[in-house]
Structure 1
């Protein structure tokens, strides 16, 4: 359900002189090095905050926005969304408000109690078997670009946003690794295995620079003029493959699979193989062992194997 974007009418009094408007406060936050330095982070925050600003009133003084206005904006935009979507967008708005008050010392509303986080139900079926992933990546009707992307996502256990942001210059092909900008703007090495290593040279096809994963067609004049030059291939003129398009393609070929399931399955399979939590944490880029615990618990394959131990011994013929 897509909410209709209309400005909130509540609490529209003026504010003390010198305070920023909602629009200028959003722009200042998006220009912060931690946000601007990562194109994927910038794009995600911009999508959320621009919509919230439109509801609050872009020219409205930030100091005159009430806590309840924030709750009303979140409710109108994502009140009917799934808990994960609500929590993600709520967190983006909370980060912006916190930055305004702690970094710039502006008078700004707080995240109200009425807009609390929602419980996200655990779904242990998100993990898919390695056989299913192998079968998908070996299908003859799947294009090379998609096979390479899915293999790299699984073998690297990386976030899709980080892999899609890779440039050819970031790759260290002989060592099966690449420098990737991950969540939070940090840079780390991601690694992949033999299957991805066999596909990458064919995908690159002699290119030496520009985005690794490209869209199928060149963008039109308007989109080209509004696209960051870093997201255009200087040799082919094609743009970087976007997250939304990559998500749609996996759903089309993968019978409903989602991009994050490849990362989730990879980490769980490593846990099933008795890989230590510290190594899984280093590979996935998680900041704490607590975040990795969801992957260390046995997956369905391990549960099936344990279940067989309870079966009666087969009779000998």
Structure 2
């Protein structure tokens, strides 16, 4: 099987059999397209001719080009996924990437926006929404839901009106692997969502060919996309002090950390976030401990040794 054909068949496998997200499929596709170009330069065009040495050379070239460790790790995962599928489906005699390894991504604590900073952010959104613009009412509602339910941006964008239960203060979302879960949200989010559904959404829907089932609509009346939400949140967080990512995932990180700071059980936070493994959720305990340590250092009179006079 030629590599381009193998890559397309592998993409369909990830989409229909493994249930990977569109983001992961796109990232893997880009990585493997680069691998195919690298292989072609080595005069390797058949998927069955991929071997461990070529895969290692490909990663080494990417490392020499200065790619981040996280990117190298993802490329290695994409290659292993491809070679494992080739072997299982009978298109290759062995799994060439089974022993492929890449540098581990550096452990990096996620960015967390403080509670007071979140309050100021929402005050700004509420002020704009009060002026009556449907886009502003939508922006407030979607940010309230992202933070209030600690959602992934894809989950918020994929939600339908029928997934929302304003009486029970819950929303049903579809996460990774097409797994559904029901997540709670608070009264401020319910207030913003109610206003948006009564006023903002009908005005946005009138700009399109029909509102459809989507909960959140873009400026042209169709379902809003993750890129639009990413731009919105990035603009909002530009003015917030702190380094690190400034997209919607920062709101998810912040919500999870604030839940733990407030005394929520780790298992409950795992369920809210939709993590398959408790280990993934435990990173937020490290974030909370870091914040606790910093608060202690700044506030406790015996935390720092006095300098000698």
| TM-score scaled by length of structure 1 | 0.72
- Give distance in 2, aligned partners of 1:201 and 1:56: 50
Alignment CA distance shift 1:209-1:201 (3 Å): farther
Task: Give the equivalent residue in structure 2 for 1:210.
Answer: 213
SS of residue paired to 2:177: coil
Task: Give the equivalent residue in structure 1 for 2:109.
Answer: 123
Task: Give the equivalent residue in structure 2 for 1:306.
Answer: 296
Show the 5 A alignment for 1:53-132.
Answer: 53=33, 55-56=35-36, 60-73=45-58, 80-102=66-88, 104-107=89-92, 110-111=96-97, 116-123=102-109, 126-132=111-117
Q: Deviations over 1:224-259 (max 9, x none)?
A: xxxxxxxxxxxx4x2x32223322222222116222
Task: Give the equivalent residue in structure 1 for 2:230.
Answer: 247
Equivalent pairs counted in the alignment come to 270
- Give distance in 2, aligned partners of 1:80 and 1:243: 28
User: Which of these residues, 106, 120, 124, is aligned with residue 135 of structure 1?
Assistant: 120
Q: Is the 8 A contact 1:63 1:109 kept in 2?
A: no
Q: Is the 8 A contact 2:76 2:100 kept in 1?
A: no
Higher helix share: 2
In the alignment, structure 2 segments of 5+ residues that lack a partner are 130-135, 206-210, 239-244, 303-309
- Give distance in 2, aligned partners of 1:174 and 1:191: 11
Root-mean-square deviation over aligned CA pairs:
3.2
User: Which of these residues, 137, 143, 154, is aligned with residue 147 of structure 2?
Assistant: 154
User: Which of these residues, 257, 261, 266, is aligned with residue 250 of structure 2?
Assistant: 261
Q: Is the 8 A contact 1:70 1:112 kept in 2?
A: no
| TM-score scaled by length of structure 2 | 0.73
Q: Is the 8 A contact 2:15 2:21 kept in 1?
A: yes
Task: Give the equivalent residue in structure 2 for 1:30.
Answer: 11
User: Which of these residues, 274, 278, 296, is aligned with residue 267 of structure 2?
Assistant: 278
- Give distance in 2, aligned partners of 1:99 and 1:40: 14
- Give distance in 2, aligned partners of 1:69 and 1:282: 41
**Shift in Å at residue 120 of structure 1?**
1.6
- Give distance in 2, aligned partners of 1:134 and 1:165: 26
